[in-house]
Amino acid sequence: MKKTYWVIILIFFVTFMLPEKAASAQQDSTRRSRPDIDPELLPPYTLPVWVHDPVMIKEKDTYYLYTTGMGISFQTSTDMKNWKKGGCIFTTEQLPAWHKTYIPNQNGHLWAPDIHYHDGKYHLYYSVSAWMDFNSSIGYATNSTLDPSDSTYKWVDEGCVISYKNGGEGVNVIDPNLFIDQDGKAWLLYGSYKAGLRLVELDRNTGKLKDEVNPDLTVLTSSLGEGVYLLYSKGYYYIFASRGRCCSGLESTYQVVMGRSKTIKGPYSTKEGKSWVDNNYTLFMEGDYEQPGKGHNGFITENGITSIVYHAYTRAAEGASLLVIRPVYEDEDGWPTLLNTGDYFTVTEFR
């Protein structure tokens, strides 16, 4: 009887506990042991800063970098090279109770933030999920300043914006990106491999869905991509997304793909004119020996230069996910490229 008991326990552990632990370890590369890194050994544009899903914004003379982490991690810099830990958006005590509504085991580890400034305050959208739990949702918080030393500094929880219940059948509602269009309308892009990417209009005044009962969802892809990001340049909307294997250190195959459209709702097309709705894409950036996986990007535009901000699984850091910031150029066809053509990719931002 004792032998049978221990066999049952062993089967339970192997079947349920090991996959969960493996997935948890794979989920956040920032939790892996961090080796000492010689910056001289890192590839160009790569910094010895451990991040995942980075997005950057500037207030006054300080750059703020927000990333996946407990309560959403952030770091600060005055030169985009030397970074200091700044803490988190939500402490354990400040975590909104609604996070556990759809995912009871949500532990405060929040994914893929996106931040923008308009109408006098900062708007931060983020993913509320858990590894292999697709009852995901997108949260929203606002602040009048990003400087923790400012007396007015306070992140206000604005609640849930959209969830798996109204975000599209089968869609994993994560990885938000806010876009303000030239007509002043606000849009939210989101989604992941599970049923693809979506676009929905927001009420600019509330930061929530324009129609919370029956949101009008635009299908951007049926399965392609995650970590979507939208830019506007010279009459085109350019869409970026990550594909491939994420979160696996040197086994990662993450890469960034792109498409463009004359209208915000698309359909977005490749350089060859094939539709993103059918999961076609044009490659923007892929991995190499030194950094097999590169992806989940944001962008920052300053003084006429737009830079892509992303994480890369780096061999010189034993596969850790490091911060990369590099300028984006324009190729002869007007498309963005990382090759130095001498002409920067010109982005128009609307607020």
Cα 81 from Cα 323, distance rounded (Å): 10
Nearest to 298 by CA among 115, 60, 44, 134: 115
Cα 296 from Cα 232, distance rounded (Å): 18
Three-state secondary structure string covering the chain: CHHHHHHHHHHHHHHHHHHHHHHHHHHCHHHCCCCCCCHHHCCCCEEEEECCCCEEEEECCEEEEEECEECCEEEEECCCCCCEEEEECCCHHHCCHHHHCCCCCCCCEEEEEEEEEECCEEEEEEEEEECCEEEEEEEEEEECCCCCCCCCCCCEEEEEEEECCCCCCCCCCCCCEEEECCCCCEEEEEEECCCEEEEEEECCCCCCECCCCCCCCEECCCCCCEEEEEEEECCEEEEEEEECCCCCHHHCCCEEEEEEECCCCCCCECCCCCEHHHCCCEEEECCCCCCCEEEEEEEEEECCEEEEEEEEEEHHHCCEEEEEEEECEECCCCCEECCCCCCECCCCCCC
Q: Which residues are catalytic?
A: 53, 226
**Measured in whole angstroms, how far is the alpha carbon of residue 152 from the centre of its chain?**
27
